[in-house]
Structure 1
Amino acid sequence: MKYVVLFALALTMTSCYNVERNCTDFKTGHYFSEITIDGSVFKSEFNRTDELQIETYQGKVDSSEVRWINDCEVIFRTINPKNRIERKDIHLKILTTTDSSYTFEYSYVGEDTKQKGVANRVK
């Protein structure tokens, strides 16, 4: 009986928590992102339109085609890849949103290793 009560209490607590995901608010715009990989922070700034994303990372500009799978998932394809790694498409999924930022995870298409980051809208 004690376990049934604990289970019911846990179920009611988790059902009240809804993650906010207003992904359509972030399909276009100007953003600043930070990603931490193995203790190192990588920062970039990018502009995204319905069809294109232009990113500046460590002083280098890179452009990608944008293809939305659904409201919260997008595929990026580098327009002019310079090497084999740049030829791989990137799959990004928005996990949570706030009024001015979103948390995301991304990986190369077909690979299991995922990284997480946060993108903030630049005013």
Structure 2
Amino acid sequence: MKRFLPLLAILLFNSCFNAQRNCEDFKTGTFQFETYINGELQSSRFIRNDSIEIEEYQGKTDTSSVRWINDCEYILKNTNPQGMAEEKPIHIKILTTTRNGYKFEYGQVGDPKKARGEVRKIDED
């Protein structure tokens, strides 16, 4: 029995870090993103196809190009930036997926500071 304990520990350790990701399911569709900003729940909705994302937030519409690095990572670049902050592209990495959404990590390209969020798919293509 003692010989099998290290093997069991290795199997359990690996299973904790091999989260199943079905990122292909989220390359296109209509999505909802909610986050707290200054203690207030804010919501945005966006439509994404393989190469473009159109977001509606607080009555304003914004368009970004989408460049997929691999099945679970992509770069968003604002097509009409209104300032220096909007000119910097955003790197998004899908960490885990469920049937209806995904959890992700995001930040400006080149910046080590990252944030996390969760998106829910609200429309099937």
Please indicate the TM-score interval, normalised by the length of the shorter structure. 0.7 to 0.9
1:35: how far off?
Answer: 3.1
Partner of 2:15: 16
Structure 1 runs (4+) deviating above 4 angstroms are 4-9, 36-40
1:82: how far off?
Answer: 0.6
* CA–CA separation in structure 2 for the residues paired with 1:100 and 1:56: 20
Q: Deviations over 1:34-89 (max 9, x none)?
A: 23467554321000011110001122111000100000000001000010000000
What SS is found at the alignment partner of 1:69? strand
Q: What is the TM-score with the length of structure 2 in the denominator?
A: 0.85
* CA–CA separation in structure 1 for the residues paired with 2:6 and 2:37: 37
* CA–CA separation in structure 2 for the residues paired with 1:57 and 1:108: 19
State the identity %: 47
Residue segments in structure 1 that go unaligned for 5+ positions in a row: none
Question: For the Cα contact (< 8 Å) 1:36–1:117, is it kept in 2?
Answer: no
What SS is found at the alignment partner of 1:16? helix
Residue segments in structure 2 that go unaligned for 5+ positions in a row: none
Aligned-partner residue type, residue 91 of structure 1: H
Distance 1:29 1:92, change over 3 A: same
What SS is found at the alignment partner of 1:99? coil
* CA–CA separation in structure 2 for the residues paired with 1:8 and 1:38: 47
1:20-99 equivalent positions in 2, closer than 5 A: 20-36=20-36, 40-99=40-99
Q: What is the TM-score with the length of structure 1 in the denominator?
A: 0.87
